[in-house]
Amino acid sequence: MGEDRRRFLKLAGLTALCAAGKGSLVRLAGAESPATGGAAKKKIRWAMVVDPRKCLEKEACTACIDACNHAHNVPAFDNPKHEVKWIWKEPFADAFLDQDVRYIDQALTTKPVFVFCNHCDNPPCVRVCPTKATWKREDGVVMMDWHRCIGCRYCMAACPYGSRSFNWEDPRPHIKQVNPDFPTRTKGVVEKCTFCDELLDKGQLPACVTACKEKALTFGDLNDPDSEVRRLLRSRFALRRKAGLGTNPEVFYLV
């Protein structure tokens, strides 16, 4: 009995020592490792602010859509059920289904708004993807890896915004003018807006933002209090699409 207790006390003491030692080791490593030092660097959180009022000036304007479709080889299928959309127009009331739009300025609510992937901070499409073909980047962009997409369309079922499209046919013959610098997709692959990751990586703005002459689209870093997007969000009230679902969409619509 006495032997047992002694052994127990020894073991307990050793365990406590290990636990304490580990804590201080972690703290020590944390203070000196360059990996954690890097985290102190300001993290970027890309977001878009849309000003639908500026779109009212030229109602038939589709400059952003055209620029995007050309930049990313978005196919134009004849069958409306097969439509592939990255950025498109949606009637105001449909875009903001959870909003009571009856008393919002009619000039705005009777016209369509431009919608695209919301690059949610809590993206449901990412949670359901079985192959990690879609994931959230460090900078908040909800990316797609078309090499890995198996076309199961779980992400399309999960996305509450209909931001994802499926290639039911081979898209190649349906691309009006092929941009050789960007790949096409194949039949059986899902695609969507990626905030022009290929341009972001080069330090440029997304194609739709550059194409819009009316400056209706503003792109920037939400984590930077001096950025243009933060300035706009401070000065005017903004709606988000179906924010109540908890997806935390990062595309804002000024009203």
Partner 1 sequence: MRERAWIFTGLAAFLALALAPVWQSALHGAARKPEPKIVTKAKQCVEPTAEMRRNHMELLNAWRDTVVRRGQRTYLAADGKTVTMSLSGTCMSCHPNKKEFCDACHNYLAVSPYCWECHIEPKEKS
Site for partner 1 in 104-143 (CB under 8 A): 137, 139, 143
DSSP string, 147-215: TT-----HHHHH-TT---EE-SS-SGGG-SS--TTS----TT-EE---S-HHHHTTT---HHHHH-TT-
CB of 36 to partner 1, least distance (A): 19
Sheet harboring 46-50: ordered strands across? 217-221, 46-50, 251-254, 238-239
CB of 127 to partner 1, least distance (A): 18
**Is 154 one of the binding residues for partner 1 (CB under 8 A)?**
no
**Which one-letter DSSP state was computed for residue 122?**
S
Which residues 6+ apart lie within 8 Å of 91 measured at CB? 112
CB of 209 to partner 1, least distance (A): 18
Residue among 181 and 226 whose Cβ is closer to partner 1: 181
CB of 74 to partner 1, least distance (A): 13
**Is 69 one of the binding residues for partner 1 (CB under 8 A)?**
no
**Is 147 one of the binding residues for partner 1 (CB under 8 A)?**
yes
- Beta carbons within 10 angstroms of residue 155's beta carbon: 25
Using CB under 8 A as the criterion, what x/- string covers residues 181-200 for binding partner 1? xxxxxx----------x--x
**Of 6-14, 113-121, 175-183, 221-229: span binding partner 1 (CB under 8 A):** 175-183
